[in-house]
Amino acid sequence: MEYPVSGSCQCGQVTYRLFKPPIAVAACHCKQCQKLSTSAFSLTAMIDSDAIEIRGEMTEWSRIAESGITSAAKFCPVCANHIYHYNPSNPKHLMLKPSTLSDTSAINPTIHVWVSEKQNWFQIPVGVLTYETQP
């Protein structure tokens, strides 16, 4: 994949350009991510906050995670598509929702977290890192 690569929410009000590859791509199997994705897990691409340029107004929602850390989400106020999550006490890294990329070929999770809460029917590929909870 050549960078920069573009991305957007479903309705196109929020757009962005990602200037370099993700640091890592993870699949999170926690119950909260299952609710967010309405699926078995949610995908996240960790990126440096200075590697992305975002245009468009976003809304924010946050919750306290089981770890005690605040998990904040930025999303489109029109279509409610999540663009990224972040920890306000560590703004250097963002957790981009990679399904919003125009080219999703970079989505290859090599880390699976919260496998203690994963759906029984889902088989994690052999050879990827797994963590019972949050590393």
pLDDT, tens digit, 9 for 90 and up, residues 3-47 = 999 999 999 999 999 999 999 999 999 898 888 888 999 999 999
Please provide the DSSP assignment of the chain as one string.
Answer: --SSEEEE-SSSSSEEEE-S--SEEEEE-SHHHHHHHTSS-EEEEEEEGGGEEEES--EEEEEE-TTS-EEEEEE-TTT--EEEEE-TT-TTEEEE-GGGBS-GGG----EEE-GGGS-TTPPPPTTSEE-SS--
Topology of 5-130 in CATH?
Answer: 2.170.150
pTM assigned to the model? 0.87
